[in-house]
Amino acid sequence: MNDDLILVRCADAFAHRIDELFLEDRIEIHGGLDWLEESTIGMFHQIGDEIAAAALKELSRRASAARKWFAIDGPWWAQPLPTTGRQVTRLAQAVN
């Protein structure tokens, strides 16, 4: 099997799992007393939910890699690449 196809399928499976965790209320964009934030992406998981924590840790790693790539290859006027919902909202408000 082609390595690129394997990478695409793995990325799709990971994205699908993130969606499932969100729909199951195991990850959130707003925290609370029993929730921990993965600060790079601004998402939360419940304390003790190791599966959700691992998924957000991997999502955070991917966001950091994308930000590093974007710092070199992205347009100068769009730096740094926003990786949280709050950063995207601030950027959108600044433009309007």
Q: What is the pLDDT of residues 1-56, one digit of tens each?
A: 577 888 889 889 989 999 999 899 999 988 889 999 999 999 999 999 999 999 99
The per-residue b/e assignment along 8-46, b for 16 or more CB within 10 angstroms, e otherwise, is eeeeeeeeeebeebeeeebbbeeeeeebbebebbbbbbb
pLDDT higher than threshold 80 for residue 95 = no
Mean pLDDT of 75-79: 88
The backbone torsions φ and ψ at residue 45, rounded to the nearest 5 degrees and listed phi first, read -130, 155
pLDDT higher than threshold 80 for residue 96 = no
Helix, strand or coil, per DSSP, at residue 92: helix
User: pTM of the predicted model, to two decimals?
Assistant: 0.81
pLDDT at 1: 56
pLDDT at 36: 93
**Token pair 């890699």 is at which residue?**
65
Q: How far apart are the first and last CA of the chain?
A: 47
* DSSP H helices in 1-96: 3-23, 50-73, 85-95
Q: For the chain, what are the domain ranges?
A: 3-95
